[in-house]
């Protein structure tokens, strides 16, 4: 197999690898979108569960305090009766102190119930907002999950096709060259580079003149001393080809020239 045939295989392999990288990026993005929505929904449901449990605890505590206040109201009434029945100053003072303590405890319970009621109302508002968000995310997830799943399936199918094509191309390259290519690819996404005039088009630095002279004979591959890519020579495009390419670009950009 000539070096020109090997160059064509390298370029085909690099193109396939570029496609696979693009597919992997799209797969990561699609899976990230789906995973992000599911993660948001899970976090929201956990928050709702926690808020509902807190609200239940608040309501329970408030109920217990309400019962306790009713009992205190009855005790206050009994203390008033005891005060009215007091037969001397000592009994009167004792009954008065008991009544004041009960009234203070009653006020404390009222304040605590008011605080719990305020907290419960805030939690109910928070639960209502979170529930609305949960419904919205669930609707979005139901609407997009099917499309994202189908897109992921298409991308995985495309990746398998390109991976199969890669295997076919790689088996046609000499084993030593393919291993070198794979070794470089672990460090650089693009493992090959061209040169027209002694400048590596991968890192845009000049190679030694003697190396470039060897490459002109197109007998074997070299590695760029700077970026370590597999380097090969291709003739520069002819001036007429370059002009045709420029004219084609201008014609595409300006419909009036068509």
Instruction: Report the range out of 40-44, 89-93, 171-175 with the highest average pLDDT.
Output: 171-175
- Domain 12-171 fold is Helix Hairpins (1.10.287)
Please compute the mean of the pLDDT values over residues 198-212 and round it to a whole number: 93
CA-to-CA dists, residue 32 to 25, 40, 145, angstroms: 10, 12, 12
Please compute the mean of the pLDDT values over residues 50-65 and round it to a whole number: 91
CB burial readout 119-140, b (16+ within 10 A) else e: ebeebeeebeebeeebeebeee
pLDDT in tens, 70-83: 998 998 898 888 88
CA distance 20 to 159: 6
pLDDT in tens, 106-145: 899 899 999 999 999 998 998 888 888 888 878 777 767 7
The reported pTM is 0.57
Higher pLDDT, 218 or 13: 13
Residue boundaries of the structural domains of the chain: 12-171, 176-249
């Amino acid at each position: 197999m000539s070096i020109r045939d090997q160059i064509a295989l390298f370029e085909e392999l690099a193109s396939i690898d570029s496609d696979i990288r693009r597919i992997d990026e799209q797969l990561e993005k699609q899976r990230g979108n789906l995973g992000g929505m599911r993660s948001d929904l899970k976090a929201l449901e956990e928050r709702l569960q926690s808020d509902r449990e807190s609200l239940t605890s608040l309501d329970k505590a408030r109920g217990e305090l309400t019962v306790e206040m009713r009992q205190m109201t009855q005790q206050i009434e009994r203390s008033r009766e005891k005060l009215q029945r007091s037969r001397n100053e000592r009994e009167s003072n004792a009954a008065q102190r008991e009544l004041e303590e009960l009234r203070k405890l009653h006020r404390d319970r009222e304040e605590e119930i008011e605080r719990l009621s305020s907290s419960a109302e805030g939690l109910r508002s928070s639960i209502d907002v979170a529930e609305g968000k949960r419904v919205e995310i669930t609707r979005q997830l139901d609407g997009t999950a099917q499309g994202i799943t189908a897109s992921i399936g298409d991308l995985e199918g495309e990746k398998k096709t390109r991976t199969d094509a890669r295997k076919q191309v790689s088996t046609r390259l000499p084993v030593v060259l393919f291993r070198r290519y794979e070794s470089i690819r672990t460090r650089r996404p693009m493992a090959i580079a061209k040169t027209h005039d002694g400048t590596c088009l991968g890192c845009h630095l000049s190679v030694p003149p003697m190396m470039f002279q060897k490459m002109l004979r197109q007998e074997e591959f070299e590695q760029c001393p700077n970026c370590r890519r597999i380097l090969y020579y291709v003739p520069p495009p002819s001036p007429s080809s370059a002009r045709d390419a420029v004219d084609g670009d201008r014609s595409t950009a300006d419909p009036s020239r068509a």
